[in-house]
Structure 1
């Protein structure tokens, strides 16, 4: 084992040990102070986002991203103080990030769509929507997927990319909706009487709004019927109830008043040769 003289040991101490110890101490200070500064910045960002209307999940996610990026800079600065080649480290991290991004291209698309959904909020939890080829009540929106419950109580998890890339119909976005119904009567029935009956029934329905005014009008002279459109406005929550109840009530009332509701039919005339 080689022996060092006092001068050599002192020289080794001055050239290597003391500078490294100083750099290590400075690197520790950079890391500790950097973490404190990062926490302060993250708290400020969190307070600013909390004052906005952004979803809580999005706020937490943004804060996590900001914290991770700032801590990465702090770590690189501390390693640079120790003499580590941070240029190569950054290049390696960039290459790794590119490789991961390419392998998770679909997931990143869902992630980006999730961020857009949480920022712009085309719908919220509890809304009934038609999106991504699925109709249902939104139960939750995460960064990558949206969970819906269908009317027959099936839970469907839809990728956010599929939702944001297509049309989104939000049936709960407005407080009121128009119920579009069509009722046909026979050509031999009293048209004015049928119209009066429909107008009376709409006026008697308590769930129908007075403003906007409902519409009852002849819309078509069909192949086997004269068709009325009945378009009352209701609160969104009453939409299906009014449609189902009113359709049943019209059938019963027309039967009572002797007004027929024709169904498609075909008359076949047979002609014998020689007649």
Structure 2
């Protein structure tokens, strides 16, 4: 019985060996050809991607759009090469494409929010309403654009916080882009006995001499309104977004100090209260 069992095992091993040998003889050239096609395709995908990136850089096109297009071209070439390699092995890709399509439909319904973010990201990259380094305000959130991804846009503020905004909340919303700077608006009241032209000239001199104020855009100082306590002066100037509050506070202090040295006082708000007996 032991000799019979040993003979059966030898026959099974011999049959397995013969099957593997026939399989290698039949498909070895096809497998080798598919591997060669795949390796050449990967090399070609990297070369085409680099060529696209160089063309975008040559024409000084935004780096975000350049990265997106070059990566998309690379993936597209790899997919095409993979289809050719599978065809070399005799594998029909038609059922696979149909299965991927059906799976994509179900996955698309499940991750609809994510896909909408990606679609919005493509819109941002193509239309470029802002680029890295710009200051944007969307839905009452302000920050400097640090990076733009397909799914989200990253902002940073003066405190060093990182703010992630899903791209679907940017596209279709009211978007403010002040590039690298942010507007400062300040109002205060001076007495009607004070010469407003003197005060306006003093403030304009301070703003023009300040290193914190962005001088490429004009500063505006004038009478904003006529309040019950005096002239309400309005001040508008620009400062770098990354140091917005620091520059605003220092400029306000410089304005207050200069007015105090000139003997100009800022009117205090007064509220009248009438008591009925």
Instruction: With the length of structure 1 as denominator, give the TM-score of the two structures.
Output: 0.69
Matches within 5 A, 1:1-275: 21=26, 25=29, 28-29=32-33, 32-33=36-37, 35-37=39-41, 39-40=43-44, 42-52=46-56, 53=61, 54-55=63-64, 57-59=67-69, 61-79=71-89, 82=90, 84-131=91-138, 133-171=140-178, 173=179, 179-187=184-192, 189-190=193-194, 192=195, 194-205=196-207, 206-207=209-210, 214-232=219-237, 243-268=248-273
**Alignment check: 8 A CA contact 1:46 1:63 kept:** no
Bigger drift between 39-48 and 207-216 goes to 207-216
Q: 1:242 Cα shift?
A: 5.2
Aligned residues of 2:48 and 2:74 also touching (Cα < 8 A): no
Measure the CA separation in 1 of the matches of 2:97 and 2:237. 64
SS of 2:84's equivalent?
helix
Q: Name the CA distance, whole Å, in 2 between partners of 1:209 and 1:136.
A: 17
In the alignment, structure 1 segments of 5+ residues that lack a partner are 1-16
Give how far 1:226 is off. 1.3
Call closer, same or farther: CA 1:65–1:164 in 2, change over 3 Å: farther
Alpha-carbon offset, residue 199 of structure 1: 0.6
* 2:13 corresponding residue in structure 1: none
CA contact (8 A) 1:57 1:142 kept: no
Instruction: Provide Cα deviations, 1:130-180, integer angstroms capped at 9, x if missing partner.
Output: 235532333333332333333333333322222334233333x26x76644
For 1:211 and 1:36, the matched residues in 2 are separated by 53
Number of paired residues?
246
2:170 partner SS: helix
Determine the C-alpha separation between the residues in 1 that align with 2:276 and 2:30.
109
